[in-house]
Amino acid sequence: MAAAQAVEEMRSRVVLGEFGVRNVHTTDFPGNYSGYDDAWDQERFEKVPTMAVEKVLVYNNTSIVQDEILAHRLGLIPILADPRLFEYRNQGDEEGTEIDTLQFRLQVRCTRNPHAAKDSSDPNELYMNHKVYTRHMTWIPLGNQADLFPEGTIRPVHDDILIAQLRPGQEIDLLMHCVKGIGKDHAKFSPVATASYRLLPDITLLEPVEGEAAEELSRCFSPGVIEVQEVQGKKVARVANPRLDTFSREIFRNEKLKKAVRLARVRDHYIFSVESTGVLPPDVLVSEAIKVLMGKCRRFLDELDAVQMD
């Protein structure tokens, strides 16, 4: 029984020792799925497309932010537009049509506030329009876009992103074209902020921990992982929610307690964290990413079939 259990443990857990990690196997081990779960991180989401500003036509820019810097900043602004409703622009196509381009106008001029107090030094009082935010961007519908997208649905995701600062007499007047692209091409097209995965933590107490030691134990882990309960007058530690732990390994710095705890990770339980930039909700992103992988497989299957056919 004990031997079988030990083997089971070897297979299903990666144990974290004090200085290293024991029981780490190659990816051939049956039941270990890290082979294709590796693919499910930032890389995968690089293939999910979004819309972002690609071309900026500058009519007038007298601010101290140079044209190219301004254009770069505008490109990084996340645009709330479902990329699945648009097509990729054909290469070499200069003009852009209504199915592959979105147009935005940014026109801001800074002036002096005539009603400001004489000796005020607060720029918010002295100047009008001295901060250019994304809410100053207006959407210019092309073709039949006005019918397809109701007013206010195509806009930057956040309207309080500061683009530039101006002083009286300075003006920014430009036209932006957004196209569809993927994160692999340029990071501005990435639909996620951060996407990562980790294995589910597995914390077991090898011996009962009571009293002061219980309090100490709960401090060695992330809050919420260890719960100290009052049982028959004594404080007893219990593992409440191992999922919250970030594995700082603080426990191993404590001479008394390090033998009382076994830190491990469940081999085949992955926790993915996906943070979206706001264009698409994270659950849609994950679904789309899975479909991208399926699309790749299908493409190669078709190619193989084409070769075999002739």
The interface with other proteins within residues 201-240 (CB under 8 A) comprises none
194 binds other proteins (CB under 8 A): no
Q: Does 291 bind other proteins (CB under 8 A)?
A: yes
Question: If you ran DSSP here, which 8-state letter would residue 219 be given?
Answer: H
Residue 208 CA from chain centroid, whole number: 40
Q: Should residue 299 be labelled a site residue for other proteins when binding is judged by CB under 8 A?
A: yes
**Minimum distance of other proteins from residue 199's CB (angstroms):** 16
Who contacts 284 (Cβ-Cβ below 8 Å, separation ≥6)? none
Q: How many residues bind other proteins (CB under 8 A)?
A: 32
| Least spacing, CB of residue 301 vs other proteins, in Å | 5
296 forms part of the interface with other proteins (CB under 8 A): yes
Residue 286 interacts with other proteins (CB under 8 A): yes or no = yes
* Residue (of 176, 184, 169) closest to 67 by Cα position: 176
Place of tokens 């074209």: 177
User: What's the Cα-to-Cα distance from 107 to each of 162, 163, 176, 304, rounded to whole Å?
Assistant: 14, 12, 11, 53
Residue 297 Cβ vs other proteins, minimum distance, rounded to whole Å: 5
The Cα–Cα gap between 252 and 203 comes to 13
Q: Distances from the Cα of 161 to the Cαs of 25, 79, 278, in angstroms?
A: 47, 12, 13
Residues 69 and 175: their CA atoms lie apart, in Å, by 15
Chain centroid offset of residue 193 CA: 3
Residue choice 13, 14, 16, 44 for contact with other proteins (CB under 8 A):
44
* CB 235 to other proteins: min, Å: 34
Q: What string marks each residue from 4 to 43 as x (binds other proteins by CB under 8 A) or -?
A: -----------------------xx-x----xx-xx---x
Please, which of residues 45-104 interact with other proteins by CB under 8 A? 47
| Minimal distance, residue 278 CB to other proteins, in Å | 10
Residue 234 neighbours by CB under 8 Å, 6+ apart: 210, 211
Q: Which stretch binds other proteins (CB under 8 A): 71-79, 138-146, 218-226, 295-303?
A: 295-303
> In the complex, which residues of this chain contact other proteins (CB under 8 A)?
27-28, 30, 35-36, 38-39, 43-44, 47, 276, 281-283, 286-287, 290-291, 293-294, 296-301, 303-304, 306-308, 310
